[in-house]
A and B are shown apart, each in its own frame.
Chain A
Amino acid sequence: MSTAEATGTRTAAPPKGKVSDRKKAERKLAWMLCAPAVIVMLLVTGYPIAYAFYLSLQKFDLRFPDDKEFVGLANYGDVLSSSTWWSDVITTLIITVASVALELVLGMAIALVMHRAIFGRGPVRAAILIPYGIVTVVAAFAWKFAFDPTSGFVFGLPLISDTWQPLNTKGGSLLVIILAEVWKTTPFMALLLLAGLALVPDELHEAAKVDGASTIQRFFRITLPLMRPAILVALLFRTLDAFRIFDTPFIIQPGGALGTETVSILGYNILINRVNLGLGSAVSILIFICVILIATLFVKGLGTSTAQQRGEV
């Protein structure tokens, strides 16, 4: 958090006038200090992405290495013209939008509680963070067992019908997947939002109070606008994560049964199960493009909002 603050102050005060020799030397040093990281990043992310793209242009099945040939963009055409890809994209979007929206609302509430907690703040925060510390696969199993028709405790609860079998239907399975995802990652959202809350100066609240603003007005008119960058960062992280969701549906409905297949599971099935490297890489690259699109949308929103904020303050 301290590094974020430091860069914040630096960008807020850009150098004015001509660049001194010392600044130049500092810049050069900065590049040299960054170089190892940049090289490592190129090696561990640039190379695999380029290689995946190269593979995606070929017909290449590990089991039939002799049939390997260059097919151009045929794999992309195959994926984009299939109904499987599009239905998986829709399933993934449903899970992403529903879980991120729920997480934002719950995360905000929890962040406010953590921010304002008067006693036992440490234990409260630790307790809230526990779900995030649990391995996703373990959490997914817990939710699966909870809704299992033979062993699930959920059906013993009041207001829930014994004959309801959520894991036997598409809607029910998606619901359980979303619940598991929300339960697991809301603390992460809350943590990011808490950092945003800490940025809202108390003086503004006090001034608004003097002016007679109600609590709700202060939340929507002061807290939310000032937190906008933090909210956008939190949404960006979570949306990217949620779009690539794999573990939870993989455990709750193995094999993407009942139409719960997400794009990552489709990629896994083709790459790992069918060992079809060409087609599978095409799917991976398409997922990558989707992720870039989402990131660009958010970063654009984020960029304008921080610029606005800087102008206002």
Chain B
Amino acid sequence: MKRRSERSSRAIRVVSGALIVLASALAAGCGVGGDEGGSGARAINWYVFNEPGGAFDKAVADCNKEAGGKYKINYVKLPTDANQQRELIVRRLAAEDDSIDLVGMDVIWTAELAEAGWILPWEGERRQVAEEGKLEGPLKTVEYNGKIWAIPFTSNTQLLWYRKDRVDPPPDDFTWDEMIDQASESGKAIEVQAAQYEGLTVWINSLIAGAGGQIVDQNGEVKVDASAERAAEIEKKLATSAAAPPGMSTNREDQARLGFESDRSDYQLNYTFIYPSAEAIKGFQDKIGWARYPRTDKGEESRPPLGGINIGVSAYAKAPDLAFDAAECLASDEHQAIAAELGGLPPTTEAVYEDEKVQKAFPFSDLLRESIDAAAPRPVTPAYSDISLAIQKSFHPPEGIDPNGLEDTLRDRIDKAGQGEIF
């Protein structure tokens, strides 16, 4: 008896010792390494998502060289998940963290950060620089309450990618219904983003706008109408058809790309990054065709999604003037072209689309520009993240929603979201 308990306590000691070592190793690993950015009067910390192609690294290096010691930008990488990026930024800005100078803002954050007073408006000459030569869609994403709150840097939109070797090029007035019918017949899937996350809001917003509808208008008024039910019908039709991809209700951008590359699908709705990444499979890039985002209704132009990154100046920046200078440099035409070339990120300045590098990076650059011009921005409201959660809840799971009555559910949830209630 005694020996046994001695042995067991020794076993426990050994195991707990091992656990402590493991835990401390992990804790050390979790510590933010050299990414925290620099301090000092001239240091400008730019918090933005990690761009693996090296485009942001190059922009930072160029600007630092150009500045000649006036300022030094540190590129601080945010998590890959869009929700986590926002959480980190919001939490830090709410705490008046002065280690953030520049924010690489997702296009949907503008109203929220501006209303809270966490970013500085671009006024006078600064405003001119921010607006100069920009496409209309991206420019709208930095506008709130009649002011400009960031400089548009990169844009993004989704195209309809299809397998040239298997299906005919879609006509100009190609609709979701036609696409679903056609794919169901051939037994091939249509890749979309329908997990419960921001990507679902992106899809639903485009479907609703494509039916001539709107979720929230410029003044923050809720404008949900019958177009919400039309969007739900299309979503449910795809989810319950033979064209529904496996795991549709949990698929995000990358699962859609992998599905398309795995040969199971004829169509894919996705951002432009899928084109360069198809290079990894020999001969696959040649099989990919591109077309405009499909229509919700036959008679109505499609409204593709609009994404991208704007650069805003934190209200708690230690040297706002230097931060504005740095932002202007980072978002210059030259660096937009580099972002397109190395990162596959579409420019926001119209003229940059004529750049040779951009033309080479995007063989579909004309369609891209047309799509960005026609894109439907997501609701511009300080309660955007609440409203997006309400949309995601209302339109998920894709095969389980009931389009009848969804209009009322959605309006009710968005009202509650706007008023800061639980939904």
A positions within 8 Å CB-CB of B: 1-2, 59, 61-65, 78-79, 82, 84-85, 121-122, 125-126, 129, 132-133, 135, 148-150, 165, 167-168, 191, 194, 198, 202, 253-258, 269-270, 272-276, 278-279, 283
Contacts and interface: CB of A to CB of B under 8 A. Distances in A.
Interface in B50-82: none
Nearest to A255: B196
B420 A257 contact: no
29 contacts: A1-B12, A62-B90, A64-B382, A82-B423, A122-B7, A122-B11, A125-B8, A125-B15, A126-B11, A129-B15, A133-B19, A150-B262, A165-B246, A168-B247, A168-B248, A168-B249, A198-B4, A198-B8, A255-B83, A255-B197, A256-B196, A257-B249, A258-B196, A273-B87, A273-B389, A274-B389, A275-B90, A279-B420, A283-B422
A84 B423 contact: yes
A91 B199 CA distance: 25
Most B C-beta atoms less than 10 A away, residue of A59, A125, A132, A168: A168
Interface in B238-280: 246-250, 255, 258-259, 262
Given A122-B7, A168-B397, 6 more contacts: A63-B90, A84-B422, A122-B14, A253-B250, A273-B83, A275-B90
A62 B87 CA distance: 12
Nearest to B9: A1
Contact of B197 (A84, A165, A254, A279): A254
Contacts of A167: 247, 250
B26 A279 contact: no
For chain A, what secondary structure do more than half of its interface residues adopt (helix, strand, loop), or is it mixed?
helix
B316 to A, nearest CB: 14
A258 B389 contact: no
Contacts of B115: 63-64
Interface residues of B, number: 46
B397 A82 contact: no
B125 interface: no
Closest 6 A-B residue pairs measured CB to CB? A257-B196, A149-B247, A63-B116, A62-B94, A82-B422, A149-B246
A168 B196 CA distance: 11
Contacts of A59: 420
A84 B397 CA distance: 16
A144 B196 CA distance: 16
A154 to B, nearest CB: 14
Interface in B12-34: 12, 14-15, 18-19, 22, 26
Contacts of B83: 255, 273
Contact of A191 (B1, B12, B87): B12
A79 B420 CA distance: 12
B359 to A, nearest CB: 35
A279 B422 CA distance: 8
A258 B247 CA distance: 13
Contacts of B94: 62-63, 275
A258 B397 contact: yes
B11 A121 contact: yes
Contacts of B321: none
B225 interface: no
B134 interface: no
B202 to A, nearest CB: 14
Most B C-beta atoms less than 10 A away, residue of A198, A256, A257, A276: A257
B218 interface: no
Nearest to A275: B90
A303 to B, nearest CB: 26
Contacts of B18: 133
B420 A150 contact: no
Given A198-B5, A202-B1, A150 B12 contact: no
